[in-house]
Amino acid sequence: MALIKACRGHEPSFGNNCYLAENATVVGDVIMGDDCSVWFNAVVRGDVNSIRIGNQVNIQDGAVLHCTYEKTTLTLGNAVSVGHNALVHGCTVENEVLIGMGAIVMDHCYIESNCIIAAGAVLLEGTRVESWSVYAGVPAKKVKTLSPELFAGEVQRISKNYMLYASWFKDESH
């Protein structure tokens, strides 16, 4: 069973049909929507400020979601995929965004809907990512406009696949 822990009077809250891996950690002021998944060794730490997560969000293995005490909150919209070992800190991510494996998104970043943050990218504090963009590199910069084919083939596909993967584990008997 996942580690779900209250902190400073806040208990995490989950929508319907969420999957939490046995060694996922969700702490404090976290409100998660429906059909979300938090995978193995992922940490969602709402101890120092609030974390709000929409519907159909997947937080993949080893990812960390956190904020800065009394300065930043974290908001993820609907159908966001946070890739393996990504660090998402004190920022706002709108709907249908893929944050690639090992990416770092720093405080006060704002990622508009329909974007890809490439694997290994580092979004410096305060970066704004405009809709339909692909950002890559260190520091991350816009490298191209997101095509409808890439959007469907990556952002939407991964979001839907993670809902499927979660169903495999929810159906397993213990």
Which helix (H) or strand (E) segment holds residue 142: the answer is strand 141-145
What pLDDT does 174 receive?
Answer: 38
Q: What is the pLDDT confidence band of residue 173, given thresholds at 50, 70 and 90? A: very low
State how far the Cα of 71 lies from the Cα of 138, in Å rounded to an integer: 24
The CATH class, in words, for 3-170 is mainly beta
Contact between residue 155 and residue 148 where contact means Cβ atoms under 8 Å apart: no
Q: Which amino acid is at 127?
A: T
Task: Report, as an integer, the average pLDDT of 94-100.
Answer: 98
- Domain extents in the chain: 3-170
pLDDT 10s digits, 113-164? 999 999 999 999 999 999 999 999 999 999 999 999 999 999 999 999 999 9
Return the residue matching tokens 């800190």: 89
pLDDT 10s digits, 47-70? 999 999 999 999 999 999 999 999
Q: What is the pTM of this model?
A: 0.97
Residue 143 φ/ψ region, left for φ over 0, alpha for ψ in the -120 to 50 degree band, beta for the rest: alpha
